[in-house]
Structure 1
Amino acid sequence: MDTRHTAVILIGFQNDYFAPEGALHGVVHHQAQSVLDNTLRLVDALPSDVLVLATPIVFQPGYPEMEEPVGILKLIRERGAFAAGQPGCDTIEPLLQRAPRVRVVPGKRGFNAFHGTSLLQVLRENSISQVLLAGVVTSICIDSTARYAADQGYKVGVLSDCTAGRNATEQSVFCDSLFPMYASVLTADEALEALAPTESLAR
């Protein structure tokens, strides 16, 4: 991987998913800590020229963005998750502590991190050709974002140990069977190895 043209996109690293008292912590609680530990280790070890972007989902109070939500969006509204100005909406403290290494791209309102945000523009401005995805939920936001990125011509990598599904079976199905149809699936360690600088041999 060329570090100058690679971006790591962090999706959903917010209190409502990762804090024990978060409104949706129960959705990914079985993997939340390991995903967080692996992702922070990855961010800390990345070469400095790898772009790191966070795309938090934020809704206005009262959820005017949703007319007749279904599925997880309905659950978000029912539980009051990701509402602007509420603690659950905030980016988790460990990522905040890593500013300005992690650049926030605001505007996400749904599953796909490109929709409603300037993410595509940021990637183009930085000459990015490959994206690596970390975060939650594997079957929803990770999948939606990965498919869109692939459609836009990006090489896509999904970090299997930096993502969490709603359960182990879901995570396995996506990482073993679905993602490989349009993306690479690799661990944080494999990504770091691929991004490690190579020394040219003196002749």
Structure 2
Amino acid sequence: MDLSKTALLLIGFQNDYFSTDGVLHAVIEESSRVSGVLENTLRLLENAGSRFGCVISTPIHFTESYEELENPVGILKTVKEAGAFRAGTPGAKTIAELSPYAGLITEVAGKRGLDAFSNTELEVLLRKNGIEHIVLAGTVTSICIDSTGRHAAELGFNVSVLSDCTSSRTVFEQEFYCEQVFPLYGQVVDIQQLLAA
């Protein structure tokens, strides 16, 4: 894998998920602890962040009234009911742990749902930078990571999901997606395998 033609895509690294007082922290807490998603992602950024063609964050933000969500169901209904990811609130902000890498990370705004390509300029940025391979890190594995990975594969990008830099709602769900779902359209690797490749 040529890291200069690879984008590290960071999904969901926001306070409402990763801060202990985040309104959706409990949803991913156990899986995040087991996979070590935050610690491992920070280690990857520290050791290899500058070697990627680009590092991109795609935070999700909603207006105060959640007017973007008409008749939401599933996780988006939960997001609205919990009052998560409202633009301008502490919970919607990128976690402080990523601050040391702010100069390395390009933020792509506009994400309003599960897929980081929907309603954003993500594909344009990737094409502009000559990216051929997408590496996914963040949360939630079964929702935003999977939706974005599938879309990337449909667009012709090679897709890798970092098993130790992602987390889901449960440990079982994380393992199931890494073992049974992601290999259907991409590859699953950990940090050590990524750097070795």
TM range (shorter): over 0.9
Question: Rg larger in 1 or in 2?
Answer: 1
Quote the Cα distance in structure 1 between the aligned partners of 2:96 and 2:31.
18
Q: CA-to-partner distance for each residue in 1:118-175, whole Å, 9 max, x for gaps?
A: 1000000000000000000000000000000000000000000111111011111110
- Over aligned residue pairs, what C-alpha RMSD do you find? 1.0
Equivalent residues in 2 for 1:144-163, closer than 5 Å: 144-163=147-166
2:37 partner amino acid: V
Is the 8 Å Cα contact of residues 45 and 192 (structure 1) preserved in structure 2? Answer: no
Aligned to 1:96: 99
Residue 106 (structure 1) shift: 0.8
Quote the Cα distance in structure 2 between the aligned partners of 1:44 and 1:118.
26
Quote the Cα distance in structure 2 between the aligned partners of 1:62 and 1:130.
37
Quote the Cα distance in structure 2 between the aligned partners of 1:96 and 1:64.
30
Q: Report sequence identity in percent.
A: 50
Quote the Cα distance in structure 1 between the aligned partners of 2:23 and 2:148.
23
Aligned to 2:135: 132
Residue 102 of structure 2: SS of its match in structure 1? coil
In the alignment of these two chains, the number of paired residues is 194
Structure 1 unpaired stretches of 5+: 195-203
Is the 8 Å Cα contact of residues 63 and 87 (structure 2) preserved in structure 1? Answer: yes
Is the 8 Å Cα contact of residues 49 and 55 (structure 2) preserved in structure 1? Answer: no
Quote the Cα distance in structure 2 between the aligned partners of 1:176 and 1:41.
23
Aligned to 1:77: 80
Is the 8 Å Cα contact of residues 14 and 91 (structure 2) preserved in structure 1? Answer: yes
Quote the Cα distance in structure 2 between the aligned partners of 1:191 and 1:43.
13
Aligned to 1:201: none
Residue 188 of structure 2: SS of its match in structure 1? strand
Quote the Cα distance in structure 2 between the aligned partners of 1:86 and 1:97.
21
